[in-house]
């Protein structure tokens, strides 16, 4: 019987499909064996064609046909097709190159990641998400308890010629200070609301800093503010009531100037007039029990503020929405004086979003909202910021700033640089200005001696980070003045002429952020905007380079490497050697029945245009 063995039989496996070993467009190779007694010397054995004079043909069939065509159902496998581009990239010969495949996948992932980093503004999204005020965001912890060193510096004007002033001389003033207080501030009683606002109260503790201050028990000669407040109102009360007040004040030996220490003037001293006013004044006008210029700043403030968290937009981020439930300031009756849309100093709307050159600040001591105007870009501790200053026409007459008309009472002729805040001071004729009458009407400065305005020391300014709206540095500088109206019918002050008397000025704000806050701001505004584009470009370059490297290696292998057919041929030869060894070991068992001869294909057929050599064993009956 005829026996035929194919030592190189390779079916179309899944790997053959991946490597491109299946497909059309292949040529057929025909191997014929004749019935004639052709003797091929191979290890001493003869090989004869079996059966009838038939022709065995190896034909490349379709992908699903097992690679067999023609008459012979057990035809030879397809070994001569050319590799596809995919097989060139991820294989080496007939084997998948796992290293190449891994490099391609990693390169594609890196390339996609780099493109995403360069096109999607995820950094801005992350910053805005954490900038909005909400529980456990970074900005919330900073806002709730900033931890920054916030200092309040107080400078008091000491009157060196009180008697001379009463006799018609200019007051000679000497600036005494600074008296420095560290302000430990936090927000308490915090409540978030569904309309994207949050309410809170300020808790402030002022602690004296002796190493930065002069002796807080330094004696000061200053105008008697409670007395002069009362006498300035007496002309409106009529002659009889004015005389009654005069008799009482004379009997009680009140004087227009008093001697107190700096600490008493700032944080309170006992005064009979203040005690009486506290007891008998209407509740909404009632002052505290003691007289002190900053007495109401210590402890938890009664004022409840509600601000916008930025959830509905950053255009008014950090701006006040309500004060004590009101959407306006009750001290003033007309806009824009009664507006409250301003920051309390922790956050401002980022200028990169609003594109506005104005921001607004509310301070209870100022009794109003003040504008801050953009000047230029500056740098603070390596971080870019915008410089804002107080406009020159903020305080004063309505001729230079029409918005100031609603601040001035009808019986006062407004002056540039002087602002009325008496409604916030229990009716006391207190006016604010820049320190040393900086940018004020020259008549105010010429009426006193000892003042010297200076831009660097007396100007209000803020340095605000434009992307975050966080102030990196800021100083609010304000001077308190007492506007005295002459009361000629009140004997103790009959010589005290109409006058705007400077009492003190203070500076409050921050000079430095804490290291932790500064690092966070630096990372978000300086480091990340530089490193992220560089990283994205490096990722894109790295991904393209990895893929290009694999293409180059695949091309080199295709041009210079061994033909995969030779590798398959080598595998076939190894199979033949194993078969020959088996036959040599067991030839005694079948020597009497059959003889085996190895048949070789012709060399021309083996190497014909990448065709595979198929060794065949036949049995001669």
**How is residue 188 annotated by DSSP?**
E
The CA–CA distances, whole Å, from 51 to 35, 48, 76, 593 equal: 8, 9, 20, 16
Name the β-bridge partners of 380.
Answer: 383
Q: Tell me the pLDDT band of 455, cut-offs 50, 70 and 90.
A: very high
Q: Burial-class residue 26 by CB neighbours within 10 Å (0-12, 13-18, 19+).
A: middle
Alpha carbons 593 and 202: distance in angstroms, whole number: 111
Instruction: Say what the pLDDT of residue 298 is.
Output: 74
What's the mean pLDDT in 538-550? 82
What's the mean pLDDT in 351-375? 91
More confident residue, 104 or 196: 196
Q: Give the pairing of strands 383-389 and 219-223.
A: unpaired
Most confident of 43-57, 70-84, 172-186, 481-495: 172-186
Other Cβ atoms closer than 10 A to 114: 20
Whether the per-residue pLDDT at 466 is higher than 60: the answer is yes
- 227, two tokens: 């007395």
Terminal-to-terminal C-alpha distance of the chain: 5
Alpha carbons 6 and 11: distance in angstroms, whole number: 12
Whether the per-residue pLDDT at 591 is higher than 60: the answer is no
pLDDT tens-digit readout, 151-186:
999 999 999 999 999 888 999 999 998 999 998 888
Alpha carbons 394 and 527: distance in angstroms, whole number: 38
Alpha carbons 165 and 222: distance in angstroms, whole number: 12
Alpha carbons 433 and 440: distance in angstroms, whole number: 7
Instruction: Say what the pLDDT of residue 513 is.
Output: 87
Alpha carbons 612 and 27: distance in angstroms, whole number: 12
Q: Tell me the pLDDT band of 620, cut-offs 50, 70 and 90.
A: very low
Instruction: Say what the pLDDT of residue 307 is.
Output: 94
Instruction: Say what the pLDDT of residue 610 is.
Output: 45
Instruction: Say what the pLDDT of residue 451 is.
Output: 95
Q: What are phi and psi of 118, to 5 degrees?
A: -85, -15
Most confident of 191-200, 267-276, 400-409: 191-200
479: left (phi over 0), alpha (psi -120 to 50) or beta: beta
Whether the per-residue pLDDT at 235 is higher than 50: the answer is yes
The CA–CA distances, whole Å, from 285 to 202, 241, 318, 423, 428 equal: 22, 21, 30, 9, 10
The CA–CA distances, whole Å, from 70 to 11, 73, 305, 601 equal: 17, 8, 94, 19
Residue that the structure tokens 């503020």 belong to:
305
Instruction: Say what the pLDDT of residue 616 is.
Output: 43
More confident residue, 408 or 171: 171
Q: Tell me the pLDDT band of 73, cut-offs 50, 70 and 90.
A: very low
Percent of the residues in the chain that have a pLDDT greater than 70, as a whole number: 73
Instruction: Say what the pLDDT of residue 217 is.
Output: 92
What's the mean pLDDT in 247-260? 88
Q: Tell me the pLDDT band of 376, cut-offs 50, 70 and 90.
A: very high
**Looking at 56-65, 248-257, 452-461, which range is the least confident one?**
56-65
**Residues with Cβ within 8 Å of residue 192, at least 6 apart in sequence:** 134, 135, 198, 309
Q: What are phi and psi of 357, to 5 degrees?
A: -95, 5
What's the mean pLDDT in 287-293? 82
Instruction: Say what the pLDDT of residue 112 is.
Output: 84
Whether the per-residue pLDDT at 245 is higher than 70: the answer is yes
Whether the per-residue pLDDT at 19 is higher than 80: the answer is no
**Looking at 318-322, 485-489, 517-521, which range is the least confident one?**
485-489
**Looking at 125-134, 316-325, 404-413, 516-525, which range is the least confident one?**
404-413
Establish how many alpha carbons lie within 13 A of residue 15's alpha carbon, considering only the half-sphere containing its beta carbon.
Answer: 10
| Predicted TM-score of the model (pTM) | 0.71
Alpha carbons 113 and 120: distance in angstroms, whole number: 10
Alpha carbons 396 and 131: distance in angstroms, whole number: 36
pLDDT tens-digit readout, 436-448:
999 999 999 999 9
Q: Is the peptide bond before 70 cis (omega within 30 degrees of 0)?
A: no
Task: Give, to the nearest 10 degrees, the angle between helix 272-280 and helix 225-233.
Answer: 60
**Looking at 66-75, 257-266, 430-439, 452-461, which range is the least confident one?**
66-75
Q: Tell me the pLDDT band of 587, cut-offs 50, 70 and 90.
A: low
**Residues with Cβ within 8 Å of residue 70, at least 6 apart in sequence:** 57, 59
**Residues with Cβ within 8 Å of residue 341, at least 6 apart in sequence:** 316, 319, 320, 360, 369
Q: Report DSSP letters for 429-463, one per residue.
A: -EEEESGGGTTS-HHHHHTSBS----HHHH--EEE
Q: Is the peptide bond before 178 cis (omega within 30 degrees of 0)?
A: yes
Most confident of 76-90, 122-136, 393-407: 393-407
What's the mean pLDDT in 52-69? 40
Instruction: Say what the pLDDT of residue 512 is.
Output: 87
Instruction: Say what the pLDDT of residue 615 is.
Output: 47
Strand order through the sheet with 4-6: 4-6, 616-619, 596-599
Name the β-bridge partners of 506.
Answer: 154, 478
Whether the per-residue pLDDT at 373 is higher than 90: the answer is yes
More confident residue, 145 or 285: 145
Q: Burial-class residue 195 by CB neighbours within 10 Å (0-12, 13-18, 19+).
A: exposed
Whether the per-residue pLDDT at 419 is higher than 80: the answer is yes
Q: Give the pairing of strands 461-464 and 471-484.
A: antiparallel
Instruction: Say what the pLDDT of residue 279 is.
Output: 79
SS3 206: strand
Alpha carbons 583 and 594: distance in angstroms, whole number: 12
């Amino acid at each position: 019987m005829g026996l035929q063995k194919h030592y190189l039989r390779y079916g179309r496996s899944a790997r053959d499909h991946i490597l491109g070993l299946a497909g059309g467009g292949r040529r057929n190779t025909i191997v014929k064996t004749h019935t004639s007694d052709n003797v091929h010397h191979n290890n001493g054995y003869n090989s004869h064609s079996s059966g009838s004079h038939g022709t065995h043909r190896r034909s490349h069939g379709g992908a699903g046909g097992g690679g067999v065509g023609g008459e012979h159902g057990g035809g030879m496998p397809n070994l001569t097709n050319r590799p596809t581009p995919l097989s060139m990239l991820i294989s080496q010969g007939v084997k998948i190159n796992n290293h190449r495949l891994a490099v391609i996948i990693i390169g594609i992932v890196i390339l996609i990641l780099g493109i995403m980093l360069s096109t999607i503004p995820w950094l801005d999204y992350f910053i805005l998400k954490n900038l909005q005020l909400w529980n456990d965001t970074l900005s919330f912890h900073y806002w709730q308890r900033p931890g920054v060193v916030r200092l309040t510096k107080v400078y008091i004007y000491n009157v060196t010629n009180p008697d001379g002033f009463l006799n018609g001389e200019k007051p000679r003033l000497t600036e005494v200070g600074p008296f420095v207080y560290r302000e430990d501030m936090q927000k308490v009683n915090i409540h978030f609301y569904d309309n994207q606002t949050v309410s809170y109260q300020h808790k402030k503790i002022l602690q004296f800093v002796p190493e930065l201050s002069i002796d807080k028990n330094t004696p000061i000669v200053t105008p008697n503010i409670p007395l002069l407040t009362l006498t300035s109102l007496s002309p409106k009360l009529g002659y009889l009531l004015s005389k009654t007040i005069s008799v009482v004040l004379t009997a009680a030996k009140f004087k227009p100037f008093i001697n107190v220490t700096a600490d008493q003037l700032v944080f309170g001293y006992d005064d009979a007039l203040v005690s009486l006013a506290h007891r008998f004044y209407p509740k909404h006008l009632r002052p505290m029990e003691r007289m002190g210029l900053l007495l109401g700043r210590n402890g938890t403030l009664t004022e409840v503020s509600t601000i916008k968290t930025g959830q509905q937009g950053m255009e008014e981020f950090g701006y006040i929405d309500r004060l004590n439930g009101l959407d306006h300031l009750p001290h003033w009756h007309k806009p824009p004086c009664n507006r409250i849309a301003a920051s309390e100093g922790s956050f401002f709307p980022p200028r990169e979003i609003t594109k506005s050159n104005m921001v607004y600040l509310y301070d209870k001591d100022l009794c109003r909202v003040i504008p801050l105007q953009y000047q230029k870009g500056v740098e603070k501790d390596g971080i870019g910021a915008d410089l804002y200053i107080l406009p020159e026409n903020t305080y004063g007459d309505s001729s230079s700033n029409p918005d100031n008309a609603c601040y001035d009472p009808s019986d006062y002729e407004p002056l540039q640089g002087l602002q009325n805040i008496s409604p916030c001071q229990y009716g006391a004729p207190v006016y604010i200005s820049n320190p040393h009458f900086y940018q004020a009407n020259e008549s105010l400065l010429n009426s006193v001696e000892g003042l010297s305005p200076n831009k660097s020391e007396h100007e209000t300014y803020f340095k605000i980070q434009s992307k975050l709206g966080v102030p990196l540095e800021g100083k609010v500088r304000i001077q308190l003045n007492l506007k005295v109206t002459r009361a000629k019918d009140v004997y103790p002050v009959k010589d005290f002429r109409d006058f705007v008397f400077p009492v003190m000025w203070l500076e409050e704000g921050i000079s430095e952020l804490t290291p932790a806050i500064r690092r966070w701001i630096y990372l978000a505004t300086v480091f990340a905007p530089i490193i992220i584009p560089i990283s994205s470009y490096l990722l894109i370059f790295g991904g393209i380079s990895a893929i290009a490297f694999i293409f180059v290696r695949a091309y080199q292998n295709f041009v210079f490497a061994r033909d995969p057919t030779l590798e398959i041929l080598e595998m076939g030869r190894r199979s033949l050697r194993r078969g020959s060894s088996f036959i040599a070991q067991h030839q005694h068992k079948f020597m009497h029945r059959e003889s085996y001869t190895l048949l070789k294909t012709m060399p021309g057929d083996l190497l014909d245009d990448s065709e595979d050599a198929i060794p065949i064993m036949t049995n001669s009956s």
